[in-house]
Amino acid sequence: MTHRVAITGSDVAFDCAETESLLDAALRAGIELPYSCRKGVCGNCAGRVESGEVAGLGGGVTRNEACLPDQVLLCMCAPRSDIGMAPASWRRVDPAARKRFQAKVFRNQLAAPDVSVLQLRLPAGQRAKFQAGQYLQIRLDDGTTRRYSMANAPHESDALTLHIRHVPGGAFSQRVPVLQQGDPLDVELPFGAVTLDSATARPIVFVAGGTGFAPVKSIIDDMAKRRIVRPITLIWGARREDGIYLRPAVERWQRQWPDFRFIAALSEDTQQQQQQQMAGTFLGRADEALAAQCPALAGHEVYACGSPAMVQAVRDVAVRHCGLDAADFHADVFVDGPAVPR
């Protein structure tokens, strides 16, 4: 059964089936709301349902700790009647701007023991339009999809660079190290709305966990290309030094911007390495590095990218302990597990 969903205070309305989330129906209708994971974890899509009745998609939860008392997760709510909803923000986009390509592996390099940097080429003459911070979907033979953030900046639009961690037991990521030049991959893009707000010049703190560095790299390379100057702190969390797999990029940014601060947060470094630690290394988790190195975050923006646990811990430190306004926290959460075809 289908219901009508309206954005209150606007003339925007669209249909949504009882088996579909309010977020997906909005995206299908060309209305973009804030979102990232579409799995009820990141909390980016938190908004109000002001009239009508909703139920958790597939019997799931409709709220998480990122929701204010009057908010629900629009990616997890399906309608049971006509709905009036008030998302945190919305804008019209062209649904046809999302494209599906048969991309080919161009280069495949091991950047760390468990991270591949995969470069894909698009068919001749094709360009992939996306914004820094967005992600693509790879469709596997069984119809499920995996999402990966673009690590290249949008102006390098004839290729797509992905940083893929090899997840133990992972159906796709375990296959990545053996992908050869010319192997085809079915990709669709762009997805995601965690992008840089270029209307502000406030100091910005990026916190990346592992391959959460990928969207951060795209955003910072894009800032460099567009000559955006803002004080930047980058905290990159990994277990050991070899998890900081792209130091040359960081060193380039340090040369480019005098106000660029880098902290490698290493959670499994040993006492011995502690004595030899390099400048800019913090021994502990990324959230602990944030608390120690950025104790006063009022007036900043924070972008956190990585696992659900890491992003949750960083949000907690930033908002509860360092005085960040919750609206200035932006999260890109790498939730594992296959997504259903959409």
Sole window of 145-153, 182-190, 197-205, 277-285 interacting with ligand FAD (rule: CB under 6 A): 145-153
Among 30, 56, 203, 338, the residue binding ligand FAD under the rule CB under 6 A is 338
125 close to 158: Cβ distance less than 8 angstroms: no
CA atoms 149, 153, 155, 159: torsion sign:
negative
Minimum CB separation from ligand FAD for residue 313, in Å? 18
Which lies closer to ligand FAD via its Cβ, residue 40 or residue 79? 40
Question: Is 336 a binder of ligand FAD (CB under 6 A)?
Answer: yes
Query: What interhelical angle do 247-256 and 213-225 show, nearest 10?
Result: 30
Question: Is 165 a binder of ligand FAD (CB under 6 A)?
Answer: yes
Strands of the sheet with 145-149, listed across from one edge:
145-149, 135-139, 184-191, 99-112, 115-121, 159-165
Question: Is 62 a binder of ligand FAD (CB under 6 A)?
Answer: no
146 close to 167: Cβ distance less than 8 angstroms: no
Which lies closer to ligand FAD via its Cβ, residue 231 or residue 338? 338
Residues 197-256 touching ligand FAD, rule: CB under 6 A, are 211, 214
Sole window of 3-11, 242-250, 256-264, 328-336 interacting with ligand FAD (rule: CB under 6 A): 328-336
Question: Is 148 a binder of ligand FAD (CB under 6 A)?
Answer: yes
Residues 6-45 touching ligand FAD, rule: CB under 6 A, are 36-37
Question: Is 60 a binder of ligand FAD (CB under 6 A)?
Answer: no
Question: Is 268 a binder of ligand FAD (CB under 6 A)?
Answer: no
CB atoms within 10 A of CB 263: 22
Question: Is 167 a binder of ligand FAD (CB under 6 A)?
Answer: yes
Sole window of 19-27, 124-132, 157-165, 248-256 interacting with ligand FAD (rule: CB under 6 A): 157-165
Residues 6+ apart with CB under 8 A from 292: 282, 284
Among 59, 123, 143, 169, the residue binding ligand FAD under the rule CB under 6 A is 169
Among 17, 61, 110, 171, the residue binding ligand FAD under the rule CB under 6 A is 171
Question: Is 334 a binder of ligand FAD (CB under 6 A)?
Answer: yes
Minimum CB separation from ligand FAD for residue 175, in Å? 8
Continuous H helices in 92-246:
213-225
Q: Which of 233, 223, 209 is nearest to 297 (CA)?
A: 233
Question: Is 149 a binder of ligand FAD (CB under 6 A)?
Answer: yes
d(C-alpha 132, C-alpha 108), whole Å: 22
Three-state SS for 189? strand
Residues 6+ apart with CB under 8 A from 124: none
Question: Is 170 a binder of ligand FAD (CB under 6 A)?
Answer: yes
Element spanning 298, H or E:
none
Strands of the sheet with 232-238, listed across from one edge:
281-283, 260-266, 232-238, 204-209, 301-306, 329-333
Q: Binding residues for ligand FAD, per CB under 6 A?
A: 36-37, 135, 146-149, 163-165, 167, 169-174, 192, 211, 214, 334-338
